[in-house]
Structure 1
Amino acid sequence: MMMLNSGYVFIPLTLVGCGGWVFTSKCKHLLNTLLSLEFIMLGIFFVLSNCLSVSGNEMYFVLFFLSMVACEGALGLSLLVSIVRTHGNDHYNSFSILQC
């Protein structure tokens, strides 16, 4: 229980909670949503790396998770660039399902 007292779990869970709050709030821009997703993934990465290093397990899963997060970020940025090129901005109000 030394792990819970030293803040190894409280700080990353606060990061995940704040990122989830921003993600579910009414954001007007797609870029804010993508940044909040990256913030959530950073908190989860912090939790995984701390828990696995304290328990003495191998860090292969953390490296796999980090590579998936990098792929998710690249995919999100490519979608953002294509949306900005087609619609001119990243406001949610200017998107229409019928145009896609």
Structure 2
Amino acid sequence: MSFFPVVGVGVIGVLVGSVCLMSQRKSLFGALLSMEVFTLSVYIMVFSAVWFFGSLTSVCLIFLGFGVCEAALGLSVLVSLIRSTGSDYVGGLVLGHF
């Protein structure tokens, strides 16, 4: 297993995730999905580096745990926003309808 193609896939995923995150201006759900793509791409890069260099493998599990916590917090914020405002549009928060 070569190191550089896997890291290249991770870099492309990070770029796609960051472009999608910057382009999401209305929906919180789309922003959370793009953040998950970003997190999984960074995980792919970390896992490939750990696999190639043969170092500590618990770093991958710790990073994956942080990714799961980030997803759970984002989902709870999304549910709270939908229950209070009725939609997941971020524009309603700027106007003070929260």
- Say which of 67, 70, 73 aligns to 2:68: 70
> Which consecutive residues of structure 2, in runs of 5 or more, have no partner in the other structure?
none
In 2, Cα distance between equivalents of 1:55 and 1:20: 27
- CA gap of 1:72–1:26, structure 2 versus 1, over 3 A, is closer
**1:13 to 2:43 alignment:** no
CA RMSD of aligned residues (A): 1.5
Query: Are 1:47 and 2:45 counterparts?
Result: yes
Using the TM superposition, give the Cα deviation of residue 97 of structure 1 relative to its aligned residue in structure 2, in angstroms: 6.3
Alignment pair present for 1:79 and 2:77:
yes
Deviation sequence 1:14-70 (CA, Å, 0-9, x none):
000000000011432000000000000000000000110110112111111100110
Whether contact under 8 Å (2:32, 2:74) holds in the other structure is: yes
Partners of 2:3 and 2:40 lie apart in 1 by 19
In terms of fraction of residues, the more helix-rich structure is: 2
In structure 1, the gaps of 5 or more residues are none
TM-score normalised per structure 2 = 0.91
In the alignment, the residues of structure 1 paired with residue 55 and residue 95 of structure 2 have an alpha-carbon distance, to the nearest angstrom, of 46
| Percentage of matched positions with identical amino acids | 29
- In structure 2, how many angstroms separate the alpha carbons of the residues matched to 1:78 and 1:62? 24
